[in-house]
Structure 1
Amino acid sequence: MESAVVVAAPSGELEEAVRLGHAFAAGENRARTLQARPGNIATPSHLAGEARRIADEAGLEAEVLGPAELKAEGMEALLAVSRGSDEEPRLIVLRHRGAEPGEAPLVLVGKGLTFDAGGISIKPAKGMEKMKYDMSGGAAVMGAMWAVGRLGLPVNVVGLVPSSENLLSGSATKPGDVIGSRAGKSIEVINTDAEGRLILADALDYAARWSPAAIVDCATLTGAVVVALGHHRSAVLGSDEELIAELRDAGDAAAQPCWPLPMGPEYRKQLKSGVADLRNVGGRPAGTITAACFLSEFTGGTPWAHLDIAGTAYGSTKKPYLRNGPFGRPCRLLLEWVRARASS
């Protein structure tokens, strides 16, 4: 043995540090395990089953909305994305009741697109196998909720994962279709490969039922974010500068940094439609920003932030402690943010 590291601290502090470290690592590894499963296994119904298992292990409440419930809720956008697949969509709900019943919860929303072929606007064959990772946001939320429950954090938290497949068939949604949404807004579908924002739109609107203190969503949403920030930082955008600052601090503390991008009316104009309230894409310029602008239309005025993790959720790495493939990001960021809110 060439060297040894001795950690000395009062026993209570050391035990708490170990407890936190284990929860952060185990929560992220839960997310990575879900990410790694191929699309023929990790279907929406499979994710729903895993959510129930997580709830049992972590003392959470689990609810799963199937097609009938989604239709009753008016979630036409989520249902429209799933039309091309034989796999039925789900909306997964995980609840942690760590504070008084009247205390407004934090809501985490994660995109759970278990395989994304692009729909009628089909993706190129090269690299399509990586589209099993399009549920990375949902996996991160599920891992974070597991850790929140195991830590027993004194805060109310809701985790939402809208889940579907985006495939192509005779019943698939087509470019040019006009679809509805739970919020009552009509959407012109220009590109069926911009589907993540559609399933998130209904989930974000659904989140308003809890009158949350804040909503944070995370999604492998745009290729444009990789052009803007590469694979080192996630993008963060939103309606509340204080919330964005909190997420940046949490990202730095958890070694999962994020970087802010602007939003404004000049970008929202790109979503204008002649036949609906808005279109689902805003053209090539500022793709990450216009995607966030689209999501903001469904947040109901609640403090909200969006993490685009398309460049950071999976990939290759030279880090000795992390294998190539799924990274679990931004599970630790979300958990650190919830922990900071719980202690404030």
Structure 2
Amino acid sequence: MEFFVKSGNPEKQRSACIVVGVFEPRRLSHAAELLDETSDGYLSTLLRRGDIEGKVGQMLLLHHVPNVLSERVLLVGCGKERDLTETQYKQIIAKTIATLNDTGSLEAICFLSELHIKGRDSYWAVRQAVEATQDSLYSFDQFKTNKENTRRPLRKLTFNIPSRKELARAELALQHGLAVASGAKACKDLANMPPNICTPLYLAQQAQILDADFEKISTEIIDSEQMAELKMDSYLAVAKGSAHPAYMSLIHYKGGTNDQKPIVLVGKGLTFDSGGISLKPGAGMDEMKYDMGGAASVFGAMKALAQLNLPINVIGILAGAENMPAGNAYRPGDILTTMSGQTVEVLNTDAEGRLVLCDVLTYVERFQPECVVDIATLTGACIVALGHNISALMSPHKGLTHELLNASNQSGDKAWQLPMDDEFQKLLDSPFADMTNVGGRPAGSITAACFLSRFTKNYNWAHLDVAGTAWRSGINKGATGRPVSLLTQFLINRSENETTEANN
């Protein structure tokens, strides 16, 4: 679909469909009022008759409204004007797109981007509308023999902006929104892929495709033999029980100067997690293909970054492995020596993600990074704490924490900081090794982050636990594409800072 922005009055637009809002109780938005004046009160008459109340998500499609140039007018219920939330706005956009696709309109001009959401501007409204539109149109049907195709899908969507002065920012919102949406789609496609196809090798091959597609990206693949030479024995222990060997994929994006330190994004890439010897329950185990959601989000963010051509250096790492039970699999009671030299007593082989990540977090020291953010579907405890709407953020570094929370707020990709006080560290004490790989049931997400923190002393680091947000279960099962939007916003902000500093 093509997206555009413009600034104009609705009564002067000639289009297949004009989209305007109606508030509760039966009150026209400003754009709808202008259409009502042109049509000699046609819309207000319908409201008095009770054809639409204005409740969130209500739709009323009108044909050949008197004196209106457009073929159709779609009235969209937006609820109470003062109570319109960010979530409702995105829901309204998604339902509007579904309705437009059913009407057969090939193009539309949408005035919902003029709706007022507290604390948000036209940039936010346009960008969120683009992201919500693309998300609502997403489907993963690569393995369906009978694909459902819309007969006459919407092909062109124009968002109207109240003032011409805001058009430049709105154009930027389109650019950012399209890049994030493209990255989120890449993330979802990768995460939704079945585990018999999406193996650690497949992750590496996808990284190499990015290399081929973008001039500023180069990839480096570290195989199991190379990892053994690097003494990444903790990472390799997790992969021992699988027929699919581990691969660590490094995606180098070079958009900044040679002396600019890179930002490093590390994604947990367990392409399937059976739990190993500590086998998971059978119910819902199919969803453990999503245990590479962190790696998928890094892949998506790197694609968005390359499309935006940001002037920074970033390294994205896909830490690919598969955790399976086998005669040679690692066991509870094993003691592993990590790349850092620290030893770990394994109490549960289903706490494998941190054993992969800890070696990667040691490996990245060689890049002398500006900062490191790891993204992982790490703990079920995170879902207990924050549900499925908010990712957990943990970091000992206040500045980096503030940046990520700010990016979360700007993008609408929500994260919440959990504490990492020293008192939690003692829960990882082991009588036989430097630490255990689990700290018990209490504060499970926090002790997992505390474990990782022991391998990040030489740089600024933050951890995002996306176990509750990377995918959804149930009838609409599938990857969400999160936190690509948060990560991309973080990189946009970093690039703007770099540009500002370079110009000073």
SS in 1 for 2:197: coil
Task: Please name the residue that 2:407 is paired with.
Answer: 250
Task: Please name the residue that 1:328 is paired with.
Answer: 481
In structure 2, give the amino acid aligned to 1:342: S
SS in 2 for 1:104: coil
Task: Select 2:324's aligned residue among 144, 147, 167.
Answer: 167
Are residues 1:190 and 2:347 paired? yes
Task: Select 1:2's aligned residue among 42, 52, 73.
Answer: 73
In structure 2, give the amino acid aligned to 1:233: I
* 1:131-181 CA distance string (max 9 Å, x none): 000000000001101111121101110111111000000000000000111
Task: Please name the residue that 1:122 is paired with.
Answer: 279
**111 and 296 in structure 1: CA distance in 2 versus 1, 3 angstrom threshold:** same
Task: Please name the residue that 2:458 is paired with.
Answer: 301
Task: Please name the residue that 1:30 is paired with.
Answer: 186
- Following TM superposition, by how much is the alpha carbon of 1:12 offset from its aligned partner in structure 2, in angstroms? 4.9
- Following TM superposition, by how much is the alpha carbon of 1:55 offset from its aligned partner in structure 2, in angstroms? 2.0
- Following TM superposition, by how much is the alpha carbon of 1:285 offset from its aligned partner in structure 2, in angstroms? 0.6
Task: Select 2:200's aligned residue among 23, 32, 44.
Answer: 44
For this pair of structures, how many residues does the alignment match?
Answer: 340
Distance, in Å, in 1 between the alignment partners of 2:253 and 2:302 is: 8
Which structure is larger by alpha-carbon Rg, 1 or 2? 2
SS in 2 for 1:108: strand
- Following TM superposition, by how much is the alpha carbon of 1:126 offset from its aligned partner in structure 2, in angstroms? 0.5
* 1:11-45 CA distance string (max 9 Å, x none): 65444332211111000100000000011010000
Task: Please name the residue that 2:371 is paired with.
Answer: 214
CA RMSD, 1 decimal: 1.4
- Following TM superposition, by how much is the alpha carbon of 1:46 offset from its aligned partner in structure 2, in angstroms? 0.5
SS in 1 for 2:185: helix
For residues 1-344 of structure 1, the aligned pairs below 5 Å read 1-3=72-74, 4-5=110-111, 6-8=159-161, 9=164, 12-59=168-215, 60-316=217-473, 324-344=477-497
Distance, in Å, in 2 between the alignment partners of 1:300 and 1:266 is: 18
In structure 1, give the amino acid aligned to 2:480: F
- Given that 2:297 and 2:483 are in contact with CA atoms closer than 8 Å, whether structure 1 keeps it comes out as yes
Structure with higher RCO (Cα < 8 A, 6+ apart)? 1
SS in 2 for 1:187: strand
Distance, in Å, in 1 between the alignment partners of 2:169 and 2:409 is: 22
Task: Please name the residue that 2:146 is paired with.
Answer: none
SS in 2 for 1:84: coil
Distance, in Å, in 1 between the alignment partners of 2:427 and 2:214 is: 43
* 1:175-219 CA distance string (max 9 Å, x none): 000011111111111100000001010111111111111111110
Distance, in Å, in 2 between the alignment partners of 1:29 and 1:58 is: 17
Distance, in Å, in 2 between the alignment partners of 1:261 and 1:20 is: 29
- Given that 1:120 and 1:173 are in contact with CA atoms closer than 8 Å, whether structure 2 keeps it comes out as yes
**317 and 119 in structure 1: CA distance in 2 versus 1, 3 angstrom threshold:** closer
In structure 2, give the amino acid aligned to 1:2: V
TM-score (norm 1): 0.96
Distance, in Å, in 1 between the alignment partners of 2:350 and 2:419 is: 24
Moved more, 1-10 or 108-117: 1-10
TM-score (norm 2): 0.66
Moved more, 193-202 or 251-260: 251-260
- Given that 2:203 and 2:318 are in contact with CA atoms closer than 8 Å, whether structure 1 keeps it comes out as no
In structure 2, give the amino acid aligned to 1:335: T
- Given that 1:161 and 1:203 are in contact with CA atoms closer than 8 Å, whether structure 2 keeps it comes out as no
